[in-house]
């Protein structure tokens, strides 16, 4: 049999072998995507790390939409971010300390922690060689492969004691920015034919500053660095139920090594339904800038957004990217923060008109989506709606939008891995799938 035909035949037969009627999920009370019928997530675990609040549930179990709130170790996100904005200081390292330990650091602890991270930012020369050998590859894949390679350099890679988990976590948090910056600069050289610059991290710079230095030398402003720092904080943690963090917890529950578990989380985040959504938003934004002649004309915008929802315009998916969230209803607190930051940065960059247009897309996108749904379910802009615009104003390329998400979320991943391996009564995470095919009688090979 022709091999290409065999592949086609196997693929064609998948249409039947994978077919499961939606009614079967209702019949057997199976929660597709671990989601309840009301859209809330199925409760599968407990945590002390992050808390995502988008609704309230009354005594009868009915959900009531509320303004979104996000808590890191019990502290509301805005309470962590506002002092940093007021004092104009960098805070990602402080938030990393909080998420890993459960406590806010004092000044001495924070300075020591910053020095520890800075000491661990340089890469082993073998890792740099490995990145060069992977030139032109997807940067998320390079990141995952470099993480797996760190296993071979670790003197105690399989040790899951608290001390060793913390050491590994700090090294990963410190090295992610360097890996991503190096990988992009090599990609830029090999794919785009640009000059190759490998800049080593510098002492006495924050992680945000060091990343921009490694990416752009000194071609960035203080506001650029502070905006990136706040983006990292806002994306550092989002509870145990988001897909990539849950992936880390599932794999950690088997007691596999840290590097295998984090590589799995990277693979999850790479998916366009998870970490790549901000690219979808910024591309949609550029499209709308071209299609809408008058950026202040609400009626013209509404007509086009409605066409998008009806799958008649843009990519014909029926989506307005960046609008809607699995948990948040009336507002996403991360989007609220980013909207404020985007406005500040737009003034510095002379892009106020684009910012005002983006805000109008948010306003009308929510309205049009609710009308399209019949007004039954509230919607709000999510994290991705403004993050891509901020990255673009800072001058960062789309190839690293999702890797930057990983650079932030590695803090949450490692915190959840430590918790998964250290709470009492832990068990391997092992849900069930119900088989609905039934029994078949075996047919001998000669009779098929």
202 and 283, same domain (yes or no): no
Task: Kindly state whether residue 446 falls inside one of the protein's structural domains.
Answer: no
132 and 266, same domain (yes or no): yes
Taking Cα atoms as reference points, which of 321, 318, 360 lies closest to residue 339? 360
110 and 214, same domain (yes or no): yes
Indicate if 21 belongs to the active site.
no
The answer to whether 120 and 170 are in contact (CB under 8 A) is yes
Mean pLDDT by 10 residues, the chain (448 residues): 89 89 90 88 94 90 91 97 94 98 97 97 90 86 96 96 98 98 92 84 95 93 96 97 96 98 97 88 97 97 97 96 93 94 95 98 96 86 94 96 97 98 90 90 91
259 and 203, same domain (yes or no): yes
pLDDT of residue 438: 86
Taking Cα atoms as reference points, which of 144, 81, 165 lies closest to residue 335? 81
pLDDT of residue 59: 80
90 and 231, same domain (yes or no): yes
pLDDT of residue 333: 96
Calpha distance 32→26 (Å, rounded)? 9
Identify the CATH number of the domain in which residue 155 sits. Answer: 1.10.580.10
Which helix (H) or strand (E) segment holds residue 148: the answer is helix 139-153
Which helix (H) or strand (E) segment holds residue 51: the answer is strand 50-57
Q: Is 10 exposed, middle or buried (0-12, 13-18, 19+ CB in 10 A)?
A: exposed
In sequence order, the 6+-apart residues with CB closer than 8 A to the CB of 355 are 342, 343, 346, 389
Catalytic entry in 257, 325, 332, 416: 325
In sequence order, the 6+-apart residues with CB closer than 8 A to the CB of 30 are 24, 434
Indicate if 257 belongs to the active site.
no
In sequence order, the 6+-apart residues with CB closer than 8 A to the CB of 439 are none
**3-state DSSP: the chain helix, strand, coil percent, rounded to 5?**
60, 5, 35
Could you tell me the two tokens for 371?
Answer: 């009308």
Calpha distance 115→149 (Å, rounded)? 24
214 and 168, same domain (yes or no): yes
pLDDT of residue 143: 96
Calpha distance 350→346 (Å, rounded)? 6
pLDDT of residue 348: 95
Total of domains in the chain: 2
389 and 404, same domain (yes or no): no
Q: Is 198 exposed, middle or buried (0-12, 13-18, 19+ CB in 10 A)?
A: middle
Catalytic entry in 224, 229, 332, 384: 384
pLDDT of residue 139: 95
254 and 316, same domain (yes or no): no
Task: Find the domain containing 401 and state its range.
Answer: 74-271+397-422
pLDDT of residue 1: 82
């Amino acid at each position: 049999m022709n091999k290409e035909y065999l592949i086609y035949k196997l693929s064609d037969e998948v249409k039947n072998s994978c077919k499961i009627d939606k009614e079967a999920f209702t019949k057997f009370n199976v929660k597709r995507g671990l989601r309840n019928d009301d859209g809330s997530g199925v409760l599968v675990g407990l945590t002390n790390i992050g808390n995502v609040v988008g609704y309230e549930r009354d005594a009868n179990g009915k959900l009531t939409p509320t303004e979104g709130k996000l808590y890191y170790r019990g502290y509301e996100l805005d309470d962590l971010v506002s002092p940093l904005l007021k004092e104009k200081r960098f805070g990602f390292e402080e938030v990393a300390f909080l998420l890993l330990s459960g406590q806010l650091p004092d000044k001495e602890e924070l300075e020591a922690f910053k020095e520890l991270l800075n000491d661990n930012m340089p890469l082993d020369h073998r890792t740099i060689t490995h990145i060069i050998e992977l030139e032109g590859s997807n940067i998320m894949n390079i990141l995952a492969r470099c993480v797996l390679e760190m296993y071979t350099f670790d003197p105690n890679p399989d040790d899951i004691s608290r001390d060793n988990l913390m050491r590994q976590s700090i090294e990963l948090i410190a090295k992610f920015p360097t890996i991503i910056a190096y990988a992009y600069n090599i990609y830029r050289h090999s794919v785009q034919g640009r000059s190759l610059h490998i800049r080593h991290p510098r002492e006495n710079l924050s992680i945000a500053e060091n990343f921009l230095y490694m990416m752009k030398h000194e071609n960035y402003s203080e506001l650029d660095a502070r905006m990136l720092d706040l983006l990292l904080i806002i994306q550092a943690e989002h509870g145990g139920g988001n897909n990539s963090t849950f992936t880390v917890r599932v794999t950690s529950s088997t007691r596999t090594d840290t590097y295998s578990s984090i590589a799995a989380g990277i693979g999850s985040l790479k998916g366009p339904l998870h970490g790549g959504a901000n690219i979808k938003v910024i591309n949609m934004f550029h499209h709308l800038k071209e299609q809408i002649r008058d950026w202040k004309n609400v009626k013209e915008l509404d007509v086009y957004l409605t066409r998008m929802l009806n799958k008649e315009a843009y990519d014909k998916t029926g989506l307005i990217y960046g609008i809607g969230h699995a948990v948040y209803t009336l507002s996403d607190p991360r989007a609220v923060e980013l909207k404020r930051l985007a406005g500040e940065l737009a003034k510095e960059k002379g892009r106020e008109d684009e910012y005002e247009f983006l805000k109008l897309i948010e306003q009308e996108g929510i309205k049009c989506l609710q009308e399209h749904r019949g007004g039954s379910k509230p919607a709000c802009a999510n994290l991705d709606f403004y993050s891509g615009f901020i990255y673009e104003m800072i001058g960062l390329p789309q190839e690293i939008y999702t890797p930057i998400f990983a650079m932030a979320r590695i803090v949450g991943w490692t915190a959840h891995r430590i918790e998964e391996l250290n709470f009492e009564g832990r068990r391997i995470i092992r849900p069930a799938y119900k088989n609905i095919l039934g029994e078949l009688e075996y047919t001998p090979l000669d009779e098929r």
